[in-house]
Structure formats: structure tokens, C-alpha cells
Chain A
Amino acid sequence: MAFHKFFLIQFFAITIIICIIISQISFAQNNESIIDGFFSRGGHTNNWAVLVCTSRFWFNYRHIANTLSMYRTVKRLGIPDSNIILMLADDVACNPRNSFPATVFNNAGRYLDLYGDNVEVDYRGYEVTVENFIRVLTGRVAPDTPRSKRLLSDDRSNILVYMTGHGGNEFLKFQDAEEISSFDLADAFEQMWEKRRYHEVLFMIDTCQANTMYSQIYSPNILATGSSKLGENSYSHHMDTDIGVAVIDRFTYYNLEFLERVDMQSKATLQDLFNSYNPSFIHSTPGVRSDLFRRPLNKVLVTDFFGSVQNVELTGQQYNISNSDIGHEINISDIKMTEYHSKESPRESEKSTSKNFHLFNVNSKQSSSLPQFLIASILFGILIKLVSSII
């Protein structure tokens, strides 16, 4: 009888140990679910920009300047050249009529040269055609197309498509010889949707009667904005007397005025951007088409389309990354947050943490389970002995 009692006691002991070990395992799982949550927020993981200037000739200087200004903005806000398709139908910087050769300005004050060292034009001159534009969008490019001329977006890419040039009622003129219609554009976007080549698209167009160009779009998750409605012209902002032509369009100018106040940490929303449009300043009625767009505009950050901002969140607790830190938890708030941007404290905090850097959940649960394992194995051995004597 005492025999079986001992057996029962030992059975309970084993069950208790099993419960302890399982609870430790589940605690580790909890941490992981918090970390997973960081990565599944938002919706897009990468940003692309397709910036198209469709008109050539010297007197369309302002269209080149528009496009280059948007190029500079998206680069400043973080989108790299590999993710930007820049299409310029003419090269005004090296035009013999340019009094300031190798420069492009968007302001009469000539404060900022848009055509500096860091400009990568992907489609230039006569390569900017309707066919190439649609091929870029849909991804149906020739097999020998280099990577820099491909839109390699996926289903988690947010794309900014900016077009400027001369347009009309449901058309946009390319290179003075052909035009793209709003139906072509809508079908191109639908092909992109079917191939899951975008997560969300912001289509911005600055031409005469621009709002008609996005009227035929029917694919989901596309937000469109244009400079003027049907029957209205879009006007240039001002002229530089030394260059001799207009240097910027009004719609783009006021967009840039808003965007120059935006940086990568900005929480400005697209609703703020659209609210800043003032038709009396722009001299035309800008329009916004958001019926196909899922999210409310006051929740969409400007940097979701114009920039490429990666999600970084600071945890409240220091993360154990090696065995030497067992039971040694320092709160991040102990390290002063304001000093974090200075040069000293990152080095100090690096010295306090260990040199081993592991990329995954490495807590000390592995080695601390050894004593429990030993107890479990000793009890297992006793169990074997007992069974051998019973049977």
C-alpha cells in the first residue's frame, strides 16, 4: 500500500513539474506575439514613385521643373533612386537656350538647383512614350529592360504616380505626338491591381482639366488628385525673367509649399494636404477622388506616399540578448531619451549590453530548464525502477 502511495506522490510531482515548464514556455510565446504585432501594422512595406513629365520643348521648362521638384521631395523624404522611376521628356538643363546651363530651377530666386549631382533620370527624351509608361506601370517590359527602368513593386507597395504636362478632357499629351486617355490609365491601374502590383496608389496630375484624367479609374485603393476640373485651365505660377520662361505651375507650387514643411517624422495627413489647397490661390479648382480609397484621409500620413518611412518602435523594456543579462532588466527610461540623439549615450549603452547580438528571441529559458530537467529525469528513472518491481 505504501508502495502505491509513493507512486502517486511521484506522479503528482511529475505533473507539477510539467505545468511549471509549460508555463515558462507560454511566457516566451507571449513576448513573441507582442513583437509580431509591430510588423503587421500599417499595410505597406515599401514605397515607389513614378514621376512623369510628358512635354518637351523649351517653353515647357516648368513641367520639367515640376517633376524634378517632386523628385527632390520624395528623395528627401526617403524613397531611394532604386524605387523612383523618373521620366523626363526633354532635357532643359542642357538646352542651348538655358542661360544657366546644367541647372533647373523652380523658383525665380534660383535658391535651389534641382538638377544637381544626385539626379537619376530613368526614361529620357524620346523614351517617354505612352507605350513605355503603360509598360512601366503594368510591368510588361521587354526582357532586356534594366532594373532601373522597371517598377518592381509588390502587393505591399505604396506608389505615388505624378504626371504633368499638357492635357485636356480625359487625355494627356505625350511628346506632342500622341496622347494617353483616361481609359488607358484606368485599364493600366486595373492591370496593376490584378497582378497585385500595388497596395495603394496616390495619383497626382497637374495639367489643364486634370480631374478628368482620373474620372475613369475603377480599381480599388487608388486616391487621385488633380489640379483643375473639366473646362478649367491650370496656370503657371511665375516666370523667371532671366530664364525667360515660367518655372513652376501653381498646383505643384502650393503642393511643394506644404511638402517643404513635411519631414520624415511628420504626422501630417493627406487631409491636411488637401485642405491646404486654396482655389483662389491656385486659380483653378483642385479635385480629390477618394471613393476607391479604403482608409479615411485624416488617417493617411503624407509620408505614406511621398516618403519611405520605416516603422521603428521603442519597447519600454530592455531586451535580454544574452545569458549574462539574466534577471538584469534596465528600463529604457533610465537611459535619458533626450540624450539619445547625441553621440555619447549610444556608445555607453552599447558597452553596457553584451557583445553577442542575436537576431531572434534569445532568452535564458534554455539553460535554466536544466535543473528541472534533471529532476524530471531522476523521477523518470525512479518510475522505471518502480515499474520493474511491480511488473
Chain B
Amino acid sequence: MTIQSHITGGLIFGAAFTARLILFHFSNITETLGSRIEIVTPVTSFTRLTEGLYLFENGVPPYDGGAFHQAPLLLACFQLLGYLPVIFTKLTFILTDLILAYYLTDITRMKQQLYCHFPRLKVELKTKEIDPWIVAGLYLFNPFTIASCLSKSTIIFTNLSIILGTYYSLKNNKSYGMFWIAMASYLSFYPFMLVLPTILMLINDAESKGKNIKSEIFSCAGLYAGWLSGLLLLSYFLVGSWDFLEATYGVILLLPDLTPNVGLFWYFFIEMFDQFRSFFLVVFQIHAFIFMVPVSIKLRNHPLFSMFLLSGIMAIFKSYPSIGDASLYLAFFPIYSEIIKYMRYNFLTTNIFCYCSILSPIFYHLWIYAGSGNANFFYAITLVYTIGNIILLVDATYAMFRREFDIWNPDLRNYEIIQK
């Protein structure tokens, strides 16, 4: 790490910090962004968190109101923050973003270290690999990240937990790695599908060190189960009853709240007849989780990439997605910057992201406020956004496999692979 890269890093972080701080001081930014449905969802909204906190502090069970659907530990955290001046809440969100970016640089460094022994393409020998600070900068200055941070959406804590889990798993620290993934799946339900890549990361060195793989897997799974039940027990002691399970995971799984968001679920379930609802709920939820095993199996030698892929799948197919989820998998994407040259649809996906970012607020306004559009306008843009995400993921997967094939089979480098 040269001094120059340190300076770059310092500049990036400083600029990100000041940008966020300045934007926070625009008086209404949290309310404005916090009311945008692409950015906050019923399970990550800061206004609902304040509602739940108010009820909690006045002795009313916070989950009775039906508005608050977030984990009880967030209640405890923000109750403590409530005793400090207002600036500390904003600082918490900004610092979470910065810590996330910092650990992202560490992850990039570790990945580059792990892959340094792999063969490389000729073109790659001339250029340097991506600077970890640039990766952090790409995350910090991603408009999705900034919007998510400024709206005080609590998805940022889930993202931080996932990044920390990845970091510690790459460092082969089982206890911490499993703890942070347990924390992530405790906060939102879907990071459960990241357990498999995490375990794969942890057992990567096991063969070389001669440990028994099966016992490693069992200890990882046991640790995960233990930390998760510890967190649930801690939440039980905080709110005094088990009804938080129904209010948090029940809402994520059973979708009682059909507020529009950038996901696929709400439109479908608004028009669903009751007798089919449970069937389609099962189908949609299984669809989200079904990618866990195949992706992990195929990418067992590249668990970080499967982490990226599954985070992307999570961002598209979870029940209440937001652009904060997209910012997470887009954070992982520059780490594998070497595959970008193989990707075919860069222009298309970039355009789709810009197009959707501009049109979806417009169509939402047309639908809700102007009354001259209807839900189909907004849902269509949501679908286009989903397609953009999927094209990005599929393209990245293709690029990854193609590059893998190319570096291990140099004689077949320019040949097109077809299936007979």
C-alpha cells in the first residue's frame, strides 16, 4: 500500500463523509428521500422505526401497532442513540457507510491476494489490478448508496453485517464470520442464503490445513444456529414476548403489507385471489431461495463471486427490495473488475439503470399524485429495473465463467463455446 493510494483513500473517504454530512444538513432530505418507495420499504423505513421506538419508550408493545416491522435490536440501538443529540444518528449512518467501504477495501485486498497465484490473461499482465480504494469509492459515490444512506434506511445495517461476515470468513475467523451472517439474517431474513458461500469461504483452506471438512461444516452451522438463537433470545428479553417473530419474519415471508416498491411481489399479490395466495407466496419465496444451492455448488471455487451473485439475486427477488440492496451487490461487482472486459451488455445495463432511476419517480408521481397514470406505469419501470439487474448478473456470470475457461485453457482462447 503506497502513500499515494493512502492519499487516494483518504480523499475518497473524506469527500464521501463531507458530501453526506452536507446533504444531511439540507433540512428535508431524510423526509423527502425517506418517503420515496424505491429507497425505503415497510421493513426498512426510518419513520416506522421512530414510530416503533416511540411506542417502545412509552411502554406499549412496539409490534402491536402493525407499522413497525424491524428487528428489536435496532430498537435498542436507536433508543441508546436517542439519548444523544440528533447529529449522532446521522453520524451513525455516515460512519456505517464508511466502515462498510473500508471493509470493502480489505475484502478487495484479500481477494487479490487469493487470486494472485491464478494464471492471468496477457492483457491483464500489462494493467494493474483495481485499487481497493477505487472499489470503496465506487461504492461510496454510487447514487443508490448515497440515497439509501440519506434516507436513513436500515438496510445499511444488513449490508454492513454481510460485508463484515464476508470479511471475517475470508480471514478464516469462523466465529465472527458466522456471527455477522447470523446478524444479517436476523435483521432481514434473506441473507440466510449467504450462509453457504460463507461456509465455503471458511472451508477453503481446510483441505490444505488437513482439517476434517465435515466437522468444519458442522461447527460453522452450529455456530450460525447458536448466534442466531442468541440474537433471538436477546430480542425476546428486550421486548418481553415472542410476537416480534410474527411481526418481522412473518411480514417478510407472508407479505401482509403491499406497499409498492421496486420488487415483483406487491403487484402480483394485490390482484391475487385469497385461495391462491399461499401457493404463490410459497412459489415466490422458494424462487428467491432456490438459487442458493446451485450457485454455491457451481461457484464453489469462487465463493466471493457467489456472494456477489446471491446478493444480486437477493436484491431482485426479495419480498421488499430497495435500491439499498442493489447498492450492496454493486459494491461487490468492482472487486471482480477483470471480468468487465468479457461482459457484453455494459451499455445496455448502464442505460437501464439511468432510465429507471429517472422514470420511476416520474411514473410514481403520475400514478399517485397526478392521477393520470396507473400502477402499471410504475410496475413496468420496476420490471425494467429488474431486467437491468438480471442482465447485469447473468452477464457477469457469463463473463466469470468465460474468463475462467480462458485462463485455464489458453489454447481455446478465441473459440466460441457451443453446446451440442
Contact = CB atoms under 8 A, between A and B. Distances in A.
Interface in A356-387: 356, 358, 362-367, 369-370, 372-374, 376-377, 380, 383-384, 387
A322 interface: yes
A388 interface: yes
Interface residues of B, number: 22
B164 to A, nearest CB: 12
B58 A380 contact: no
A362 B57 CA distance: 11
Nearest to B168: A388
Contact of A366 (B174, B175, B230, B240): B240
A365 B240 contact: yes
A356 B79 CA distance: 21
Interface in B204-226: 219, 223
Contacts of B230: 380, 383
Nearest to B56: A366
Contacts of A323: 57-59
Which of A18, A322, A366, A377 lies at the interface centre, i.e. has the most chain B CB atoms within 10 A of its CB? Answer: A366
A337 interface: no
Contacts of A367: 56-57, 59
B176 A373 contact: no
A391 interface: yes
Nearest to A388: B175
Q: How many A residues are at the interface, by size bracket?
A: 20 to 34
Contacts of A369: 237-238, 240
A21 interface: yes
B176 A384 contact: yes
B416 to A, nearest CB: 48
Nearest to A367: B57
B53 to A, nearest CB: 11
Interface in A1-25: 18, 21, 25
Given A388-B173, A388-B175, A391-B223, A380 B60 contact: no
Contacts of B234: 373, 376-377, 380
A364 B240 CA distance: 12
Interface string B228-243: 0010001001111000
Interface string A107-131: 0000000000000000000000000
Nearest to A365: B240
Given A323-B58, A384-B179, A384-B227, A21 B237 contact: yes
B174 A391 contact: yes
A2 B59 CA distance: 42
B59 A373 contact: no
Which of B59, B61, B230, B234 lies at the interface centre, i.e. has the most chain A CB atoms within 10 A of its CB? Answer: B59
B223 A362 contact: no
Contact of B238 (A356, A362, A373, A391): A373
Contact of A388 (B58, B176, B238, B240): B176
Contacts of B175: 384, 387-388, 391
10 contacts: A362-B58, A366-B56, A369-B237, A370-B238, A376-B234, A380-B234, A384-B176, A391-B174, A391-B175, A391-B219
Return the 4 tightest CB-CB contacts between A and B, nearest first. A388-B175, A362-B59, A387-B175, A366-B59
